[in-house]
Structure 1
């Protein structure tokens, strides 16, 4: 009992320390971002007007920075992704935004004001994060240039409307060719709006709008992989490319731990279908399932799915067995960092076992020593922090249990999954993931359905003499 409470105390202490660090990082991050925008405004005036005036800096920043703080900072503070990995996601948000602002300042100075386009940054942010954050990126870009050109509301809307269209219609893109539709709709919206508000553009100006938007899309598709590699925030396009089964890590897993590889393929089907029922990121769930046990490349024979005859755990102590099992998580995280896998996949590698107790080895240790100390038999964790991670945990445990069943039938599977989910719930493994009871019910139902479909019985074929089958 004492050890149990000491574990809880350590967990509370670690959580309070993490909260203090998060508060410090949050405010230092806000100051840094404001400082970067001030530097950008200085660069803007030097580039556009070839001088720096105190009046411009005050008038520009007094309007822009409060808008930034009260709209973007407050909106993204509630975003779970920015809470989990603030540096990665702020980099994925700010880097394309700053790059596009600087590029369009050069476009304005050396080409034409008509050629200014917000599509590049909006599209990249939408693909990397989500369309709501993409719309915010388009809004900030439009406000920046609207203030720069004399607080021009019409010009601000002229830039923002295509950004909104691109973000909205790019939210479910999984193939590069699909970006054609948002590009066409955004360009048409921009041209129609300029005609409605009586901006005196010539036919040549409209062709420039179409051309610059097209080049923005082409550049986006070209530089998107670099942003993914740099920030470790991946678009669904990047995730699908990463999930190619010829990936070196997956090939190594298939050769060194074929049982784990097969297990991961089954989990990927379960996780994808279960995530679809709660409108989660099914692509992330599938690809994460491929890599969630990648750490088993190290000593694969210590995991049941790779054992043929001999079980090496028989010859070692339960404590050492526990450490070896923990290592598949820690080594998996090392591989994720080394190969720059998406930061969310790294999270799922660390969270898919949560802080659960390895009950078999814990019980074995207790039988040998009479000591009850669950802390040394816990996975390092943390517990799942977002829905896709929790779905994969449920699927992982469900697959392991159903694999041990002699005969698979709907009633028994339902009972087993109820026991699994209740156990996870009571252990506190689902406390931080954000799943509702309604969503858990949907997940369980889809897992049962998928398992039954994957394990359906085949008819027995009659034996026929080979001679009768010859032509």
Structure 2
């Protein structure tokens, strides 16, 4: 889908989403009342969910970068949320409160979208269920599980953290029931208490089991999935190192710069590393036309091509990259990083070359199609890419002239307006400059020179031992 068509679709869906809270509130209310329909109860639940939705969830949606980067995130959130509502209702009716898997959907949403949305979904599910059965104690038992499990999954990077969140939620579930015993006796057996404890733990195991399938099918990845594709063993990276080794090593260096900077400004370093690994994957198809893959500058095929053809080849690596990303089911955000890391910048070298041939050449013809970076992570990726490429132009790089390149790059991109939509503040840009500098300092550190051993002297010592 072209960028203009995608924008039109997003605009249409955004207008449709004005009424999303009404639709979701109605579906959840009907689901809760499907066994024992009560018009008054349905109306009360509908109003309650509307208040929570437009008072909390809609606020998060409007201010969330993640939710608004692509409409598929919002559709996934709604679908998962509604499936959870139906699942909880049917399981409660069939097996009772101890079997309600209240944390499954909030955990999935937290892992794949954000903590605020996971906790909000859990709040509505817990509140609507308790409200339907006129049982506030049920809310006190359900929501603490949701809150703890989603909070523990903020910025999660390993599967063990998910299992640990399930275990702690199980303990919280048991404690909340025991605390309510003096006020309201539940008449639970030992088996029921065991189920209360094991339910969140088993739910976390289910989440871990279904997570890879959700990621591959929706291309919405958790940090765990992003970390798994950010390894040299991925088939696409193996192709890259064979067909475009220079691009591969450039991507590794960009990843080091970008990850370190993201960590220092509390951005998603796992995401930015994954994006850095695959941002130039489109160069696999024509690696010989990119300077980092040439053995010597004299081999540059662009010396024999017109600027227009060279421009088209460079732009095509973005189109090729997007096609390859879709083919390999890479995350949506990785696909979006491929055009955004160039933004709408001008191909200055070929534009200057074209001006020498035709002074009337339009600068717009030599701009990348964009869009500009939309998040902090994409902004960091653009900066790291330009800085790493520029550093290769130095014949005798020193920390001082590398730092000068870093500062000039940040100032240039800032003044060009390429970072306007990223949300990066001036103080964060200063931190990024320092971070890039530290990475180059680390990479430039020399190992100590070990003394050489004279072979004759060593032989003499061995004979006379």
Q: Tell which deviates more after alignment, 448-457 or 56-65.
A: 56-65
Establish whether residue 194 from structure 1 lines up as the match of residue 149 from structure 2. Answer: no
Once the two structures are superposed, residues 298-350 of structure 1 have per-residue CA deviations (whole angstroms, 9 ceiling, x without a partner) of: 11000000012411101110011011001111111111222221111111111
User: Is this contact kept in 1: 2:67–2:113, CA < 8 A?
Assistant: no
Establish whether residue 60 from structure 1 lines up as the match of residue 45 from structure 2. Answer: yes
Aligned CA distance change for structure 1 residues 108 and 467 (closer, same or farther; 3 Å):
farther
The CA distance in 2 between the partners of 1:62 and 1:40, in whole Å, is 11
Who is 1:29 aligned against?
A: 17
Deviation at 1:96, TM superposition (A): 3.1
Who is 2:82 aligned against?
A: 98
Once the two structures are superposed, residues 183-230 of structure 1 have per-residue CA deviations (whole angstroms, 9 ceiling, x without a partner) of: 232222222222223342433322111122121111100011122123
Deviation at 1:368, TM superposition (A): 1.5
Who is 1:304 aligned against?
A: 291
Who is 2:437 aligned against?
A: 448
Who is 1:121 aligned against?
A: 105
Unmatched segments (≥5 aa) in structure 1: 1-13
Establish whether residue 41 from structure 1 lines up as the match of residue 26 from structure 2. Answer: no
Which residue of 281, 284, 292 maps to 2:268? 281
Once the two structures are superposed, residues 79-130 of structure 1 have per-residue CA deviations (whole angstroms, 9 ceiling, x without a partner) of: 1122221x32223323332233222222212212222232111111111122
Who is 2:401 aligned against?
A: 412
User: Is this contact kept in 2: 1:365–1:371, CA < 8 A?
Assistant: no
Deviation at 1:422, TM superposition (A): 1.2
User: Is this contact kept in 2: 1:408–1:455, CA < 8 A?
Assistant: no
Deviation at 1:40, TM superposition (A): 4.3
Q: Tell which deviates more after alignment, 265-274 or 458-467.
A: 458-467
User: Is this contact kept in 1: 2:402–2:437, CA < 8 A?
Assistant: yes
Who is 1:108 aligned against?
A: 92
The CA distance in 1 between the partners of 2:401 and 2:433, in whole Å, is 13
The CA distance in 2 between the partners of 1:462 and 1:340, in whole Å, is 52
User: Is this contact kept in 1: 2:276–2:381, CA < 8 A?
Assistant: yes
Establish whether residue 154 from structure 1 lines up as the match of residue 165 from structure 2. Answer: no
Which residue of 148, 173, 180 maps to 1:165? 148
The CA distance in 2 between the partners of 1:353 and 1:298, in whole Å, is 18
Who is 1:145 aligned against?
A: 129
Equivalent residues in 2 for 1:239-250, closer than 5 Å = 239-250=226-237
Which residue of 59, 70, 73 maps to 1:74? 59
Who is 2:223 aligned against?
A: 236
The CA distance in 1 between the partners of 2:140 and 2:304, in whole Å, is 71
Establish whether residue 84 from structure 1 lines up as the match of residue 73 from structure 2. Answer: no
User: Is this contact kept in 2: 1:92–1:128, CA < 8 A?
Assistant: no
Who is 2:341 aligned against?
A: 352
Aligned CA distance change for structure 1 residues 63 and 462 (closer, same or farther; 3 Å):
closer
User: Is this contact kept in 1: 2:98–2:199, CA < 8 A?
Assistant: no
User: Is this contact kept in 1: 2:29–2:42, CA < 8 A?
Assistant: yes
Q: Tell which deviates more after alignment, 245-254 or 449-458.
A: 449-458
Aligned CA distance change for structure 1 residues 109 and 400 (closer, same or farther; 3 Å):
same
The CA distance in 1 between the partners of 2:32 and 2:150, in whole Å, is 26
Secondary structure of 2:404's counterpart equals: helix
The CA distance in 1 between the partners of 2:65 and 2:303, in whole Å, is 43
Which residue of 152, 161, 168 maps to 1:185? 168
Who is 2:313 aligned against?
A: 324
The CA distance in 2 between the partners of 1:245 and 1:469, in whole Å, is 42
The CA distance in 2 between the partners of 1:297 and 1:446, in whole Å, is 30
TM-score (norm. length: structure 2): 0.91
TM-score (norm. length: structure 1): 0.90
Who is 1:382 aligned against?
A: 371
Unmatched segments (≥5 aa) in structure 2: none
Deviation at 1:468, TM superposition (A): 6.7
The CA distance in 2 between the partners of 1:22 and 1:179, in whole Å, is 33
User: Is this contact kept in 2: 1:271–1:395, CA < 8 A?
Assistant: yes
User: Is this contact kept in 2: 1:88–1:232, CA < 8 A?
Assistant: no
